[in-house]
Amino acid sequence: MKSIKQLYYLLIDLDRWAYALRIPVLFIPIVLLLYVQTWSVLAYRTSRFVHLLNFKPLKYLFFLPLFFFRKFIEIITSNTISEKADIGPGFYIAHTGAIVIGGGSKAGINFSVRQCVTLGGGAEVHGHPVIGNNVVVGAGAVIIGVVSIGSNVLIGANAVVNKDLPDNARAVGVPAKVINEKGSYGISVRNYWSVYRD
């Protein structure tokens, strides 16, 4: 079930922090106490889990408590991540604050963002970004409209991306331009998870 996968993905998400601290797999939930940005990931994954449920009575049962839980997390972290966004396992928020990820946005494995990042649809163009695997988005960057971002891409701080970027690109500026093809860096994962062994 797609909804159950979200709970598995949550463990992989949290393991990005745990692995950096060399915390064993069994103690992954401890990072929820250490990093406030993990709360936004928890809120997103639980909301996505409920959103993907096929059994409507369960959706109605969870709606009210989940609504207040999400609002509480949004107030604490200043992050808004739509449950309609489709983000792969290994989702990582390096620094919290003013992150907005709109419904319809898609991202692959090991999607990493910093504070003040915006992903969403443009006012004139209906549609959202589609982002590949192992993409790192710098602080204050904006990815807007119907754009396709390849895998292993690094988007610099405060860049505005409104056009497609190829695999392994490093892009900076307003509008963002590719400056080289050295790709992203700094993504550390534990090969324990099956998504990394496929």
Q: To 10 degrees, what angle do helices 56-77 and 37-51 make?
A: 160
Angle 2-20/37-51 helices, nearest 10 degrees? 170
Q: State how far the Cα of 63 lies from the Cα of 59, in Å rounded to an integer.
A: 6
Tell me how far apart the alpha carbons of residues 28 and 26 are, in angstroms, rounded to a whole number.
Answer: 6
In the residue annotation, 126 being an active-site residue is answered as: no
Alpha helices in 21-169 (DSSP H): 31-34, 37-51, 56-77
| 14 CA to centre of own chain | 12
Both structure tokens of 136 = 């790192």
Find the helix or strand (DSSP H, E) in which 11 lies.
Answer: helix 2-20
Active site residues: 128
